[in-house]
Amino acid sequence: MTTPTLPIARLGDRSLFPDLQPRAYLNHAAVSPWSAPVQAATAAVANDYARRGAGVIPTWIQQRARLRAAIAGFIGAETTDIALITNTTRGVTDVALCMSWKPGERVLLFQGEFPANVTPWQQASELFGLSVEMLPLADFVRSPAEGLAALQAALAAGGVRLVAVSAVQFQSGLRMPLAAMADLCHAAGAELFVDGIQAVGAVPLDVREARIDYLSVGGHKWLMGCEGLGFLYVRPERLGELRPRVAGWLSHEDGLRFLMEGAGHLRYDRPIRRTADFIEGGAGNTVGCAALEAAIGLLAQLGPEAVWTHVQAYLDLLEAGLIARGFVSLRSRDPAARSCILSVLPPNPGDVLGLQRELADRGVACSTPDGLLRFAPHWPNHTDEVPFVLDAVDVALGHG
């Protein structure tokens, strides 16, 4: 099967989203709308299965290998470092279950994290006898130096096996200093697990440069794929420390051989693969794989650096307009700590939900995580939208 030629993606051009209803779609931190190429990719899978049934399997096995390679190239990894997963939580859970824990080891988390990067570690602590501790994010909000000092102090107490953090905080949009955190972890004999769903696709992230040990990413936000398909990255040096506790029938070397090569190949003693994809234990999401390949193809045309710069220009204008209207911005003053999220508190914080509904009625899509008003544009958004958004805010506030 050949990869279809993708249309050209252009910053600030939403022509690849012809069916998108909101005039200003600023909710990519929740779910991205499907582009026309993503729709076409999923339709191609459906049509192929409708025509050929099981005959499509070799074709789509090749597509999965292609997707792993595309993901690896996008984050600076190798293909063998990538496993395809259903969502971010699945990647967190797989690592939490497969690590070679020792009773009493400490796991450091952060208060305010999205629950996907908390609950699996809590469950692992009960199963393996671990100690889960929460550090405050407020130190990092004040400054990266303060946050890193607090992390270093917690690590110095000893016994920390793993630190889990989001690359970008879902509430405030704070971008964490991952490379510095990784260095502190490794100096203390600990590992760094990163939930990357609010970063990868719009915020530049190279796993080698950041020295990340594990990265779990769902594909339906900034990667602009569909729900039900994402990826897990495992640093090669950490692979040998994982136990195949989530392995299934497709985790074995030559796992399909007994179905493809005649009699005599059905065995249960084939070794489990020693690549990250050993966690892909059963049939996967073929539609999701096709969608994510198409979405990453568009993003690769632009590059995360260009996307990030484009979105910062949009947010600069929007933030200034909102502050002039009495909003309080949670966006960091340090450009290195910024993401593609702008979260604000309105002049009347008690009516955030009502304000969000008013904006939705006027064609502005945004969200309200934990009582904040969150705007999250992406590469298709144009700065020409900002006056429209601010006008909608004025009307919603009763100033129009």
Predicted confidence pLDDT, tens digits, the chain (400 residues): 455 677 999 999 999 999 999 999 999 999 999 999 999 999 999 999 999 998 888 888 899 999 999 999 999 999 999 999 999 999 999 999 999 999 999 999 999 999 999 999 999 999 999 999 999 999 999 999 999 999 999 999 999 999 999 999 999 999 999 999 999 999 999 999 999 999 999 999 999 999 999 999 999 999 999 999 999 999 999 999 899 999 999 999 988 888 888 898 899 999 999 999 999 988 889 999 999 999 999 999 999 999 999 999 999 999 999 999 999 999 999 999 999 999 999 998 778 999 999 999 999 999 999 999 999 999 999 999 999 999 999 999 987 5
pTM: 0.95
pLDDT of residue 258: 87
Please say whether the beta carbons of 253 and 274 come within 8 A. Answer: no
The whole-angstrom separation of Cα 243 and Cα 101 is 10
Phi-psi region of 264 (alpha: psi -120 to 50; beta: other; left: phi over 0): left
User: Among 342, 336, 344, which Cα is nearest to 315's?
Assistant: 342
